[in-house]
Amino acid sequence: QQQVKQSPQSLIVQKGGISIINCAYENTAFDYFPWYQQFPGKGPALLIAIRPDVSEKKEGRFTISFNKSAKQFSLHIMDSQPGDSATYFCAASIADSNYQLIWGAGTKLIIKP
């Protein structure tokens, strides 16, 4: 019940295309869903996050879509660029867990020029 399942494990997208990474969870008490981006040789960095009171959050080319009934959330990268090539992690936590994030396994995204 504490797992966050992330797919796909790896993804290759042509430049200009849409990259989509999906995550699913079981624990309905989760109410904070961040995405972190990790470039090679660097630590992860917060990209975008959503709470379940909204179904979508957009920041530039990055959008989180959230489906509470299906217990799924996804990251969409529009007009994908080679600079977006990185590993992406979804995560979830419960409001009072004080940072005890449950992490997905990660998706290695490669954008082909």
Partner 1 sequence: DVKVTQSSRYLVKRTGEKVFLECVQDMDHENMFWYRQDPGLGLRLIYFSYDVKMKEKGDIPEGYSVSREKKERFSLILESASTNQTSMYLCASGTPGTQGTGELFFGEGSRLTVL
Smallest gap from Cβ 15 to partner 1, in A, equals: 26
Instruction: Rank residues 41 and 83 by Cβ distance to partner 1 and give the closer one.
Output: 41
Smallest gap from Cβ 16 to partner 1, in A, equals: 28
Instruction: Rank residues 2 and 55 by Cβ distance to partner 1 and give the closer one.
Output: 2
Instruction: Rank residues 12 and 95 by Cβ distance to partner 1 and give the closer one.
Output: 95
Which residues lie across from 74 on neighbouring strands? 22, 65
Smallest gap from Cβ 51 to partner 1, in A, equals: 7
Distance of CA 113 to the CA centre of its chain: 23
Distances (CA, A) of 42 to 12, 56, 93: 21, 28, 23
* Site residues for partner 1 per CB under 8 A: 6, 9, 31-32, 34, 36, 41-46, 49, 51, 89, 93-101, 103-106
SS3 (DSSP) at 45: strand
CA dist., res. 70 & res. 111, Å (int): 29
